[in-house]
């Protein structure tokens, strides 16, 4: 694996690990699944395949952020708006 791809993979792992702290099923559950996913693909050497997986990881990051924003929005809406309307 080239050094620039290694750096991207490490950045992806750290970002996902940080986002996993707020995961609905718990941080430990997320950390275990994340580690298993990265260990499953640790022997890849094809740069194109690694780039595809990094792109998929970036997509997962966006989905997690959307999940968290939606959860916060629902909490704020529940707090400030009348639920009977």
Determine the pLDDT at residue 77.
84
Taking CB atoms within 8 Å and a gap of at least 24, the contacts of 19-28 are 19/61, 19/64, 19/65, 19/68, 20/64, 22/68, 23/64, 24/67, 24/71
Give the number of domains in the chain: 1
Q: Give me the tens of pLDDT residue by residue for the chain, a chain 85 residues long.
A: 457 899 999 999 999 999 999 888 999 999 999 999 999 999 998 999 999 999 999 999 999 999 999 988 888 888 888 666 5
Task: Tell me the residue range of the domain where 30 lies.
Answer: 4-81
Distances (CA, A) of 73 to 14, 53, 62, 68: 26, 30, 16, 9
Give pLDDT, residue 73: 87
């Amino acid at each position: 694996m080239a050094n620039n791809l290694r750096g991207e993979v490490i950045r992806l792992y750290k970002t996902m690990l940080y986002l996993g702290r707020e995961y609905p099923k718990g941080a430990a559950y997320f950390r275990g699944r994340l580690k298993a996913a990265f260990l499953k693909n640790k022997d890849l050497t094809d740069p194109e395949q690694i780039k595809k997986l990094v792109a998929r990881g970036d997509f997962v990051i966006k989905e997690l952020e959307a999940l968290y924003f939606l959860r916060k929005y629902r909490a704020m809406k529940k707090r400030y708006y009348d639920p009977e309307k």
